[in-house]
Structure 1
Amino acid sequence: MLDVIDPLLHEKANADWYRLAVEGGLFSEADRRFLLAHSPVEGGPSRWCCVELQDDWDIMGKGAAGLLGSAPLCPEFRMLSLDGNVLCFATTWQHSISTSVLTAPHRSRVLRRFAEWVAQGALDRPNEPPLSTAVRRWLDASSG
């Protein structure tokens, strides 16, 4: 966690995110593509979009001011490796920024319980493709 009053917060937050992303396996130096959870409608369901980290990236600054948060240095995002084995997420607390990486999310009992609940249709909405179908596919593919 990084303290929001640190004068080097922007640089440290970007460096920490990148280090965690590469070390955790979100993407590699050679292939910087990953999936980003994006909600096209505020409050609506998220969809995974394939993105590629560009050379002039600024995840915690300009990125957090747009698609990846609510303002510069206020990140709120979820990222997934292309193979689904690494989940990276960030959030902003009252006095800090937290970035975390979870490897093998399919092995997390908490995530699997949540996925089972979603697979039962708990988050399906009328007039939208059902989330339950995709989640059931994920559960079936990652069992065992």
Structure 2
Amino acid sequence: MERLNEGWYDLAVSAGLLDENREFLLMLPRGTWTAAVDRRLRHRMHIWHRVRLLDCWDIMGAGAATFLGIRAGYPGFAMLALDNSVWLLADTYESGVGVYAVRDPAVSPGVLRELEWLAREDIYKDRDFRREVTIWLECRQLR
């Protein structure tokens, strides 16, 4: 857990996730289910919460054991810098854990491809989500 926490923190700081007050946005599922249940309910609406990293944090251990993952050491969460300049994702895979940071996600080719695919494929069967993604992509092209 200590190595996972250190790796997450080093990436969060070097990518610029945290502001001067160590605040950022944390994506949580609407409701009180765990990340394991959330994986089965991907079509559910998620909401962002503004949070502050305290001195006694344990995101990959106690956090992942509750609503930030499946269990301790098995994370499943997304975070965003307050100014939207950095998106950070931690997830659990068959062969381990991955933590990724994307700077300027609104202009990232990989993020844009994924959004375009989601708008076309409608894998979540969520018309509102698909409409919002389509509108966002169209507005972005008008700039």
Which TM-score band applies after superposition, normalised by the shorter structure? 0.7 to 0.9
Q: 1:33 maps to what in 2?
A: 23
Q: 1:133 maps to what in 2?
A: 132
Contact 2:12 2:88 in 1 (8 A): yes
Q: 2:5 maps to what in 1?
A: 14
Q: 1:72 maps to what in 2?
A: 72
- Going from structure 1 to structure 2, the CA distance change for 1:136 and 1:82 (only over 3 Å counts) comes to farther
5+ residue gaps, structure 1, are: 1-9
Structure 2 length normalisation: TM-score? 0.75
Contact 2:59 2:68 in 1 (8 A): yes
Separation in 1, partners of 2:102, 2:87: 5
Q: CA deviation at 1:134?
A: 6.9
SS of the counterpart of 2:50?
Answer: strand
Larger fraction in helix: 2
CA offset digits 1:19-74 (Å, max 9, x no partner) = 1101101113x321111111124412222222111221100000000111010000
1:42-81 to 2 correspondences below 5 Å: 42=38, 43=41, 44-81=44-81
1:85-96 to 2 correspondences below 5 Å: 85-96=85-96
Identical-pair percentage: 32
RMSD between superposed Cα atoms in Å: 2.7
CA offset digits 1:53-112 (Å, max 9, x no partner) = 122110000000011101000001111111111011111223422111111111222322
5+ residue gaps, structure 2, are: 32-37
Separation in 1, partners of 2:68, 2:141: 27
Separation in 2, partners of 1:79, 1:124: 24
SS of the counterpart of 1:114?
Answer: helix
Structure 1 length normalisation: TM-score? 0.75
